[in-house]
């Protein structure tokens, strides 16, 4: 197990769980039913795409991590760079393959997501604007991948992907200051982006007659993300910013549960929310950022 753990660390298992919930949220938005569709291939796809993406993140950052985070699997020597590269590419290929086996449309979406992850890790990551935007597009694409279960509804609802783009953009913006600390202005911008997403969910819930059921989910989400963000605003040092990033990532599960209940699929919302303890448990064992 000790030899396997560094490889698992590269994939950020707690984060992969949150990626599963993107698929469920996308399927809920287009009003799928489990009796008609089996999401297993799409879940395998997002596992490969997300896992491969974060592995390649560490591959491209190997030299930087050797200075700033030498304890990570690659700079510490626990995982050879060549092995990590092959692992990341294999997972991305698995993600595309599983989606293509589901449908040609899903496969094309997965290819776009895979390309975006490589573009982010290789070129855009350290840009204050392109980094958050590209990473947000990866997560928005993951939501659309879930929507692809019903192609006839995809065109109508795909624009909702703008909200995970804003949300992940906010987290990515915060994370850029995780090592050395940052400015309060960045945190206030992130808070504004969070608020836009939360109010959008309230609007959709109200339009679908599900406001009363959705409100507790949104309040829980707000509490989880704003409490650590407020602490970071008071003292924008690396450790507090890191906690705000971790909370934002893990709380994606609650955001996706909110989408499910806002569109009337409250049983699925409860299923998604039930994944929160699992992700939090994994976050105690494996790093989130």
Report pLDDT digits (tens) over 28-45: 999 987 766 788 999 999
What's the pLDDT band for 176 if we cut at 50, 70, 90? Answer: confident
Residue by residue, DSSP assigns 210-276 as -HHHHHHHHHHHHHHHHHHHHHHHHS--HHHHHHHHHHHHHTHHHHHHHHHHHTT-HHHHHHHHTHH
Q: Is the pLDDT of residue 104 over 70?
A: yes
| Alpha carbons 245 and 249: distance in angstroms, whole number | 6
Q: Please give the model's pTM, rounded to 2 decimal places.
A: 0.94
Give residue-wise pLDDT tens across range 197-237: 999 999 999 999 999 999 999 999 999 999 999 999 999 98
Mean local confidence (pLDDT), 88-94: 98
> Above pLDDT 90, what percent of the chain?
87
Three-state secondary-structure class, residue 77: coil
Are 186 and 173 in contact by the 8 Å Cβ rule? The answer is yes
Q: Is the pLDDT of residue 1 over 60?
A: no
Residue 266 makes CB contacts below 8 A (sequence gap 6+) with 210, 213, 260
Are 51 and 282 in contact by the 8 Å Cβ rule? The answer is no
Length of the chain: 289
Mean local confidence (pLDDT), 249-277: 96
Q: What is the pLDDT of residue 182?
A: 75
Q: What is the pLDDT of residue 35?
A: 64
| Alpha carbons 124 and 84: distance in angstroms, whole number | 21
Q: What is the pLDDT of residue 247?
A: 96
Q: What is the pLDDT of residue 36?
A: 66
CA 99 remoteness from chain centre: 18
Q: Is the pLDDT of residue 245 over 70?
A: yes
Mean local confidence (pLDDT), 115-143: 95
Give residue-wise pLDDT tens across range 6-32: 999 999 999 999 999 999 999 999 998
Residue 160: DSSP 8-state: G
| Alpha carbons 201 and 197: distance in angstroms, whole number | 6
Phi-psi map region of 190: left, alpha, beta (phi>0 left; psi -120 to 50 alpha): alpha
What's the pLDDT band for 289 if we cut at 50, 70, 90? Answer: confident
Q: Is the pLDDT of residue 73 over 60?
A: yes
Are 87 and 74 in contact by the 8 Å Cβ rule? The answer is no
Q: How many other CB atoms are found less than 10 A from the CB of residue 248?
A: 25
CA diameter of the chain: 54
Chain-wide mean pLDDT for the chain?
Answer: 94
């Amino acid at each position: 197990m000790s030899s396997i753990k560094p490889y698992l660390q590269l994939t950020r298992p707690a984060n992969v769980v949150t990626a599963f919930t993107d698929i469920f949220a996308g399927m809920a938005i287009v009003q799928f039913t489990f009796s008609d569709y089996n999401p297993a291939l799409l879940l395998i796809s997002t596992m490969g795409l997300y896992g491969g993406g974060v592995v390649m993140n560490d591959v491209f950052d190997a030299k930087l991590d050797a200075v700033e985070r030498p304890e990570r699997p690659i700079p510490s020597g626990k995982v050879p760079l060549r092995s990590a590269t092959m692992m990341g590419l294999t997972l991305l290929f698995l993600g595309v393959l599983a989606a293509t086996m589901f449908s040609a449309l899903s496969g094309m979406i997965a290819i776009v997501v895979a390309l975006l992850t490589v573009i982010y890790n290789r070129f855009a990551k350290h840009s204050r604007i392109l980094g958050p935007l590209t990473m947000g597009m990866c997560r928005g694409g993951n939501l659309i991948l879930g929507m692809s279960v019903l192609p006839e509804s995809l065109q109508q609802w795909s624009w909702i992907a703008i909200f995970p783009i804003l949300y992940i953009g906010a987290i990515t913006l915060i994370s850029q200051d995780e090592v050395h600390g940052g400015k309060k202005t960045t945190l206030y911008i992130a808070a504004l982006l969070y608020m836009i997403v939360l109010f959008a969910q309230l609007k959709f819930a109200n339009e679908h007659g599900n406001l009363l059921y959705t409100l507790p989910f949104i309040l829980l989400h707000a509490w989880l993300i704003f409490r650590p963000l407020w602490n970071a605003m008071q003292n924008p040092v690396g450790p507090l910013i890191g906690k705000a990033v971790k909370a934002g990532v893990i709380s994606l599960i609650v955001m996706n549960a909110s989408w499910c209940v806002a569109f009337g699929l409250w049983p699925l919302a409860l299923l998604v929310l039930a994944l929160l303890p699992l992700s939090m448990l994994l976050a105690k064992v494996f790093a989130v950022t």
